[in-house]
Amino acid sequence: MSAAPQQPASPQHPARSPQTRAERTDYRETSRYDDVMAFLREVVAASPRTMRLTTFGYTFEGKPLPLVVVGQVSAATPDAVKQSGKTRIYLQGNIHAGEVEGKEALQMLLRELAHGEHASWLQSSVLLIAPIYNADGNDHVKMTERNAQNGPIGGVGTRENAQGYDLNRDHMKLETPEARSFAALLRDWDPQVAVDLHTTNGTYHAYQLTYAPPLHPNTPAPIVDWLRKDWLPSITKAIKAKDGWNFYYYGNLEGGETSRRGPSAPPANPARERGWYTLDHRPRFNNNYVGLRNRIAILSEAYSYLPFRDRVAVTRRFVIEILDFAHEHAAEIRQRLADLDKQSIVGETLALRATIQKAPEPVDILLGEVKHVHHPYTGATMLQRVDATHVERLPEYGTFVASETEKVPPAYLVPASLDRVVDLLDAHGIHTETLAAERAIEVEEFEIGSTDAAPRAFQNHRERSVTGSYHRVTRTLPAGTIVVPMDQPLARLAFTLLEPRSDDGVVDWNVLDDILEKEKTYPIWRAVSPVAR
C-alpha cells in the first residue's frame, strides 16, 4: 500500500461574486434550476461583449434549457457562431441530476471567463455551455438519491428526467424533449467538440477522475486515435504534473472474485476474466452518439467517494485542460473534422453489433479503499475515499470490435408512411431527399428469418432483434419515397439507425414493431446504386 496523491484543492477564487449555491452553503447543497439561471444572468451581465445567454430547447416540464455562448461573435445564434470560423466546443453538465459536479464546475468557469481569465480560449474557440441539462430531475431533490455518494448532504436530484427516462440512454430513440433539444443543438450549432460531465459510483479505485472517448467501433478512426494517443494522455500528464492527481480511462473492476465494488458497480460475474472493463459502445450514450456524428466527444466521470468540494475541483480542472488542448490545436480540430465530413463511407464495412475487446497487454490499475461515514441528517451510510492505493496489473477491456457487420449502401429508401422513422431522421439532422416520381429501383430487401423481444423492459422498451438476410429485387417505389443518401457526414449515424440488425436502431427500439410482427420483410430498402431525385 502506498500513499495516494494529494487531495484536490478548492478552486482559486471561492469568494468571487456571484457564488454558486454550493459555495454559499460550504458545499452542503447543490444549485437548483433557479439558482443556476440567476447565476448565469449575473455573469452574462458582467461580460456582455463575450457572453450571451440563450436557450436550446425545453425539458419535459417546460423549463427552458439555458445555453451560454462565450466568444467573440456578433450574436448568440448558430449562424453567427459558425460564421466566426472558430472552433465550437459544447460543455454539458447534469445529464444525470444526481451527478452535480459538472453543473457547479461550469458555473465557476463561466465566472472566471467573466473576470477575464482563460482569455486565450476565445481567440480560437466559441464555447457553448449548458450547465443544467436534466433541469427537471435536478430540482426533484432527495437525501436518498445516490445516498452512498460523499455529499452534498443537502441532497441531489434524480438520475432520470421528469418522464422517468435516463437521458443518457435516449440519444437514438429521442423520446424526451431534452434529447430532441440536444440533437437539434448538434444539428444547428454543430459543435466540433462535446464534453459530457458525470460522476461515477462504481469500483473503489484510486483515480480522482476517469474518462472515455467515443467507444462505438464505427467512430471514425482519426477521432479515436487522436484522443487515445495524444489528447487524453497529454491531459493526464498535465494534471499529474500540476495537481498530483491520477486520471485514467473509465472502467470497473469485474470478473473473478471481484472486491472493491461500489454500490453501482456491474453485477458480479465470476466466469468473466478479472479485469478493468469499460461500459458500453452503443450510441444511446452521449459520447458514443457524438462520435458517430464525426465529432470529438469526451466523457468525464469524477469519483463519487471524494468529498463533493473535491469532485467539483477535479471536474473543473479536467475541463480547463481539455480547453487548453483545444485552443492549442483549434485549427487542426476544424481541419480534421472537415476532412471527415467530406469522406464517403459507401461500400465500407461497418459494425452492426459489437463485443468488448481485450487489450494486447495488461495495465497497472490503481485500486483504492473507502471508509463508511454516517450522513448527519439521515444516518445513512456514505462512503469516503481513503488515501490508499493498491496497484494491480490487470487485463484491460476498454474498446469494442465488430461482432456482426454489413456494407454501407449508396442509399436507404424509406416509405413516407413510416412517419416515426422519417421523424427520427429529421430530428437527428440526417440529410434526406424525396423521389419526385414513381420509379422502379433495384434494391436489397431484408427477409426476416426470426424476430424476438427482450424478456425484460429497459427504458419502457422490450428491445427487439431480428435475424435474416438481404436479397436483390426490383421494387416500384412511389413518389414521395424518402431517400437517405449515404455519401453524407451523418452516414454512420444513419447506418446505425436504419440497419435492421443494428443493436441501437429503429428495430431495437420497437419503432417498427407493428410491421415486423406481421410482415416477412423489413420495410426499408437499400439501394444497389446511387438514387437521383
Cβ count within 10 A of residue 45? 11
Using pLDDT thresholds of 50, 70 and 90, give the confidence band for residue 256: confident
Using pLDDT thresholds of 50, 70 and 90, give the confidence band for residue 269: confident
β strands within 207-281, DSSP E: 209-212, 247-249, 252-254, 275-277
Q: Which residues of 108-128 are buried (b: 16+ CB within 10 A; e: fewer)?
A: bbbbbbbeeebeebbebbbbb
Sequence-ordered list of residues with C-beta below 8 angstroms from that of 187, at least 6 positions apart, any chain: 428, 429
Across all residues in the chain, what is the average pLDDT?
95
State pLDDT tens for residues 201-227: 999 999 999 999 999 999 999 999 999
Is it the case that residue 5 has pLDDT exceeding 80?
Answer: no
The predicted structure's pLDDT at residue 393: 98
- Cell representation of residue 330: 483549434
Using pLDDT thresholds of 50, 70 and 90, give the confidence band for residue 16: confident
Out of 3.20.20.120, 3.20.20.70, 1.10.8.50, 3.40.630.10, select the CATH number for domain 23-342+363-399. Answer: 3.40.630.10
What's the rounded mean pLDDT across residues 89-110? 98
Distance of CA 286 to CAs 68, 214, 314, 486, Å?
Answer: 20, 9, 21, 23
One-letter amino acid identity for 364? D
Domain boundaries, the chain: 23-342+363-399, 409-527
Q: Which of 96, 126, 101, 97 lies closest to 113 in space, CA to CA? A: 126
Cβ count within 10 A of residue 280? 16
Question: How far apart (Å, rounded) are the C-alpha atoms in residues 97 and 119?
Answer: 30
Q: Which of 40, 54, 55 lies closest to 110 in space, CA to CA? A: 40
**In which element (H, E) is residue 326 found?**
helix 308-328
The predicted structure's pLDDT at residue 167: 98
State pLDDT tens for residues 131-177: 999 999 999 999 999 999 999 999 999 999 999 999 999 999 999 99
Q: What percent of the chain has pLDDT over 90?
A: 92
The predicted structure's pLDDT at residue 267: 66
Distance of CA 175 to CAs 3, 60, 165, 284, Å?
Answer: 47, 10, 8, 11
The predicted structure's pLDDT at residue 517: 84
Residue 489 buriedness (CB in 10 A; 0-12 / 13-18 / 19+):
buried
The predicted structure's pLDDT at residue 259: 61
Q: Which residues of 187-203 are buried (b: 16+ CB within 10 A; e: fewer)?
A: bebbbbbbbbbbbbbbb
State pLDDT tens for residues 285-294: 999 999 999 9
Using pLDDT thresholds of 50, 70 and 90, give the confidence band for residue 56: very high
Question: How far apart (Å, rounded) are the C-alpha atoms in residues 373 and 389?
Answer: 20
The predicted structure's pLDDT at residue 3: 38
CB 189 within 8 A of CB 307: no
Angle between helices 177-189 and 419-428 (to 10 degrees): 50
The predicted structure's pLDDT at residue 4: 38
**pTM to 2 decimal places:** 0.96
CB 154 within 8 A of CB 25: yes
By mean pLDDT, which of 1-5, 39-43, 209-213, 409-413 is the weakest? 1-5
| Omega prior to 152 cis, within 30 of 0 | yes
What's the rounded mean pLDDT across residues 334-338? 98
Residue with cell 420483410: 521
The predicted structure's pLDDT at residue 6: 46
User: What are the beta bridge partners of residue 510?
Assistant: none
The predicted structure's pLDDT at residue 403: 98
The predicted structure's pLDDT at residue 2: 38
State pLDDT tens for residues 450-481: 999 999 999 999 999 999 999 999 999 999 99
Distance of CA 255 to CAs 303, 390, 441, 482, Å?
Answer: 21, 18, 51, 47
